[in-house]
Structure 1
Amino acid sequence: MTSSPAARPIGVFDSGIGGLSVLQALRHELPHEHFVYLADSGNAPYGDAKGDAFVQQRTLAIAGFLRQRHGIKALVVACNTATAAAVEQLRAAMPDLPVIGVEPALKPAAACSQTHHVGVLATRGTVSSARFARLRNDHSARTHFAVQACDGLARAIEQSTEEPLPATASTEKIRALCAQYTGALGSFGLKTGDIDTLVLGCTHYVFAKDLLRALVGPDVQLIDTGAAVARQTRRILTQAGTLAPEQAPDGQPAAPGPVQLYTTGQLVALQAAADRWLGLPAQCCAALPVA
């Protein structure tokens, strides 16, 4: 573990591989930082059936692991369900650790919607949380939110890297769920009463963006939180004085920071996801016990 605060890694975790979409945005915004990512795929998905107590226990255990093993200088909870269920407990338990959570982008969606009708796709754990209810209430003055719990969608995206299915069969399973849940929200478009903005309220859903785009049409805005979370992480590290330097001691641009990925699920699945979505080699990935 390095003693220099700026050189210490940023921890990132999710219930599975969905948080790789946030890691992708973080690496774009902060290319010189060292990242340690943990996919708790052995317990995924959090949002469909796991209760708050379980999610809180896993969140605290993972944060503890990343602090003790890797000396992280900040933690990005790249999971909407874990943020909703556990971020307040995590901040209370580790008040000296900067924690950045994610939540469905209702505020920016309300600000940019022209029809004032916004669709929200998220896990059942997220949409049933008190945190989500407060967020929705805060931004409902001028905007109608049509909210859909997408049981099974995060799991299907997770399984697309795990199962030895043909790619076409895996894609069709995800497409069918996307069609079911977007269809339940209502009509999409730019006419009065149409949904013109769709919030992707689970980090996994970013990896189904092309399928969702085909279903809702070219005029509908798709909003996720990756870039906003990355900018907030930069702000927090800047305030703390722990940003990794962008220049090497010789004045040359600093090299890209290293990335280490862990999973409590199938190692080959994480390796496939890391290669597909981040272009990272298999040796960046390692397996951990589920417990």
Structure 2
Amino acid sequence: MSNAPIGIFDSGIGGTSIFKEIHTLLPNENFIYLADSKNAPYGNKTEDEILQLSIKNTEILLKKNCKIIVVACNTATTNAISYLRANYSIPFIGIEPAIKPAALNTQTKAIGILATKGTLSSHLFHKTTDLYANGIKVIEQVGEGIVPLIESGMLDSDEMLDLLKTYLKPMLKHNIDYLVLGCTHYPYLIPTLSKMLPEHVKIIDSGLAVAKQTKAILANNNLLNSDAKPSSIQLYSNGNLEVLNTIIDHQFATSYLDF
């Protein structure tokens, strides 16, 4: 099983930000990535809809013989990962907003969280916030409209800039010094956000932490790939392949898959 692929799925192309981090840390590994762009965003769906989509994606990756599955979607993690871990025998890696480091390091005692409705309303999110952000002002903002714009290739559009200005305004009013990105699509906004935020505001996402956790779980289960062959990387989307190709800089081969 050690040369079997790492499976990754997301509600579209955003999880490629996680894929890139894992691939950088584990260049030897084989990968299969599913971009469920047809059903993006997950954040506005019901818990049951998110669960059913997560099961569908998991079943596809299992049929492709994946040894571990990374749920590269905050919304799917917070709503479905407990079920997936309870019902399938392979390891699952989830994604959660990096509230802990922001809450532990804030000097102004105010942090901003930009995430989907599905993440912010989940039990897991509230549990994490209660655990680590006691005494910290947490300004939550649903990033309504961001994912569809990214999925449409409108990352640097005027519409995106207008949305971000609207979403950042109340956070800056409360003097945040950390902005936590709670959706795997959002790291692609970091260059734009960095220009819009004061220098003292730090942006945190979960990508590197997820990559390190994936490596640790593979090592603990003796599943790290020891094969010296060049790695195989397959990226599939049921949406616009050109947008996926652009976001990954045409580095890897992509294919359309109807799922």
Bucket of the pairwise TM-score, normalised by the shorter protein: over 0.9
TM-score between both structures, scaled by the size of structure 2: 0.95
5+ residue gaps in structure 2?
none
Within-5 A mapping of 1:61-210: 61-68=56-63, 70-94=64-88, 96-160=89-153, 170-187=156-173, 194-210=175-191
Higher-Rg structure is 1
1: CA distance, partners of 2:233 / 2:17:
14
What SS does the aligned partner of 1:155 have? helix
2: CA distance, partners of 1:99 / 1:93:
11
Match of 1:286 in 2: 255
Q: Once the 2 structures are TM-superposed, how far is the Cα of residue 272 of structure 1 from its aligned partner?
A: 2.5
1: CA distance, partners of 2:24 / 2:258:
30
Q: Once the 2 structures are TM-superposed, how far is the Cα of residue 274 of structure 1 from its aligned partner?
A: 2.5
Instruction: Kindly indicate whether the alpha-carbon contact (under 8 Å) linking 1:10 and 1:33 is maintained by their aligned counterparts in 2.
Output: yes
Q: Once the 2 structures are TM-superposed, how far is the Cα of residue 142 of structure 1 from its aligned partner?
A: 3.5
Match of 1:22 in 2: 18
5+ residue gaps in structure 1?
162-166, 188-192, 249-253
Match of 1:54 in 2: 49
What SS does the aligned partner of 2:2 have? helix
1: CA distance, partners of 2:181 / 2:11:
16
2:235 equivalent to 1:261? yes
C-alpha RMSD of matched pairs (Å): 1.5
What SS does the aligned partner of 1:76 have? strand
2: CA distance, partners of 1:20 / 1:147:
24
Q: Once the 2 structures are TM-superposed, how far is the Cα of residue 200 of structure 1 from its aligned partner?
A: 0.6
Residue-by-residue CA offset, 1:4-24 (whole Å, 9 max, x unaligned): x11000000100010010011
Residue 128 of structure 1 aligns with an amino acid whose one-letter code is S
Residue 35 of structure 1 aligns with an amino acid whose one-letter code is F
Q: Once the 2 structures are TM-superposed, how far is the Cα of residue 176 of structure 1 from its aligned partner?
A: 1.3
Q: Once the 2 structures are TM-superposed, how far is the Cα of residue 172 of structure 1 from its aligned partner?
A: 1.8
Residue-by-residue CA offset, 1:47-94 (whole Å, 9 max, x unaligned): 1x21111110010111111111x2000000000000011101111110
Q: Once the 2 structures are TM-superposed, how far is the Cα of residue 116 of structure 1 from its aligned partner?
A: 1.8
1: CA distance, partners of 2:186 / 2:104:
22
2: CA distance, partners of 1:81 / 1:256:
33
Residue 52 of structure 2 aligns with an amino acid whose one-letter code is Q
Residue-by-residue CA offset, 1:109-152 (whole Å, 9 max, x unaligned): 11221222111000111101111111111112232211111111
Instruction: Kindly indicate whether the alpha-carbon contact (under 8 Å) linking 1:174 and 1:208 is maintained by their aligned counterparts in 2.
Output: no
Instruction: Kindly indicate whether the alpha-carbon contact (under 8 Å) linking 2:108 and 2:177 is maintained by their aligned counterparts in 1.
Output: yes
1: CA distance, partners of 2:105 / 2:150:
28
Residue 6 of structure 1 aligns with an amino acid whose one-letter code is S
Relative to 1, partners in 2 of residues 1:113 and 1:73: Cα closer, same or farther, differing over 3 Å? same
Match of 2:209 in 1: 228
The ranges of structure 1 where at least 4 consecutive aligned residues each deviate by more than 3 angstroms after the TM superposition are none
2: CA distance, partners of 1:256 / 1:176:
43
Residues matched between the structures, number: 259
TM-score between both structures, scaled by the size of structure 1: 0.85
Match of 1:251 in 2: none
Residue 258 of structure 1 aligns with an amino acid whose one-letter code is S
What SS does the aligned partner of 2:141 have? strand
Instruction: Kindly indicate whether the alpha-carbon contact (under 8 Å) linking 1:195 and 1:220 is maintained by their aligned counterparts in 2.
Output: yes
